[in-house]
Amino acid sequence: MKQISTFGASAHQIGDLQLLRDSEDDGALARLLAPCPILQLEAGQNVADGGRARLYIVLRGALAVAADTRTGMADGTISKVLPGESVGEQSVLDEEANLSTITALEQSELLVIEAELVWKLIDASNALARNLLRLLSFRIRAANAQLRRRQKLGEFYRQLSMVDGLTGLYNRAWLNDLLPTMTATAHGAGTPLALIMIDLDHFKKFNDSHGHLCGDQALRAAAHVLSSALRPTDCAVRYGGEEMMVLLPDTSDKLAVMVAERLCERMQQAVVFADMRLPLPHITASFGVATLQPGQDDHGLIAAADAALYRAKDLGRNRVARHKVDLNSPEHP
């Protein structure tokens, strides 16, 4: 990076500089800018400003500007600065060193204006102040749009991390995050919350007989049974392995049992193999139903549904059992 001229000795005009366009007194501004150096950068060369607050205006060539990662805003986006455009306004206003990385994309010429002179130019030109406000307003809107995109992308990845990759159902992380909130909401509103615990019957035997790829297909088929039979407000979760779960907000014990019985019937009809030339194994499942009791937390609700599930297995599998509430327990005086 070397000085090749000054603005006063060059052929450039005030009108070439976007920040100074439509100025009232170009002559006065030209006199202020006359001693400002013009630096030449070779392609790939970085601007080295020694940690000073400066304004750079591209007179020829092009710059690539990457935001400093210490701001927490950088995401790999590179801004391109073309002739007449500037960089460094924020550093001048903040009276701090420019934290951006500025690199010449090709051989370029830059007009360098020190921070103190920028303020003199602002005092001398209302047009410069207006142009600077417009530029900063545009950059703020662009930064806000970038933040919104980033937030949407972050939410997308957060949701993605809450979904089981094999079945498409919510996963255990989602359950741990949402179930405590759902139980607190139900207690606060005085509305019922039902939970159905589901375990595919003899799934290890199914895997041993047909292979793990077919086992995965069976899990997907079972998940489809659940997701296709529920209301928009209901949620299906892969709890782990071949265990699944259905959460039914605002659903009584009686209605939850009816839902479980319908799911049990549909599970028997689920098609596992798309190739009908192969023998069609039917998958069945056992269902345990529990509803949220006064004073019960999310762990207690899961434990109750799990106990009901084991009752269904003990009774022969491929059936529904509901949790029997102990009316003599402290929760039911």
The H or E element that residue 78 is part of is strand 78-81
Q: What is the signed CA dihedral for 215, 217, 221, 226, rounded to 10 degrees?
A: 70
Q: Which residues of the chain have pLDDT under 70?
A: 50-51, 67-78, 99, 156-160, 275-280, 325-333
pLDDT given for residue 327 in this prediction: 46
Is 242 tagged catalytic? yes
pLDDT given for residue 78 in this prediction: 66
pLDDT given for residue 330 in this prediction: 43
The ranges assigned to domains in the chain are: 2-150, 172-322
pLDDT given for residue 21 in this prediction: 84
Indicate the CATH number for domain 172-322.
Answer: 3.30.70.270
- Residue 69 DSSP label: G
Give the separation between CA 84 and CA 15, rounded to whole angstroms.
9
Q: Which residues are within 8 A (CB) of 110 and not within 5 positions of it... i.e. 6 or more apart?
A: 38, 39, 40, 41, 47, 56, 57, 58, 59, 63
Helices 253-269 & 212-228 angle (0-180, nearest 10):
140
pLDDT given for residue 223 in this prediction: 95
Third-level CATH fold of 2-150: Jelly Rolls (2.60.120)
pLDDT in tens, 144-166: 887 788 787 777 666 667 889 89
pLDDT given for residue 306 in this prediction: 96
pLDDT given for residue 26 in this prediction: 81
pLDDT given for residue 333 in this prediction: 35
pLDDT given for residue 199 in this prediction: 97
Q: Of the listed 114, 242, 243, 265, which one is catalytic?
A: 242
Q: For residue 232, what are its two tokens?
A: 């928009």
pLDDT given for residue 69 in this prediction: 45
pLDDT given for residue 127 in this prediction: 85
The secondary structure of the chain in percent helix, strand, coil, rounded to multiples of 5, reads 45, 20, 35
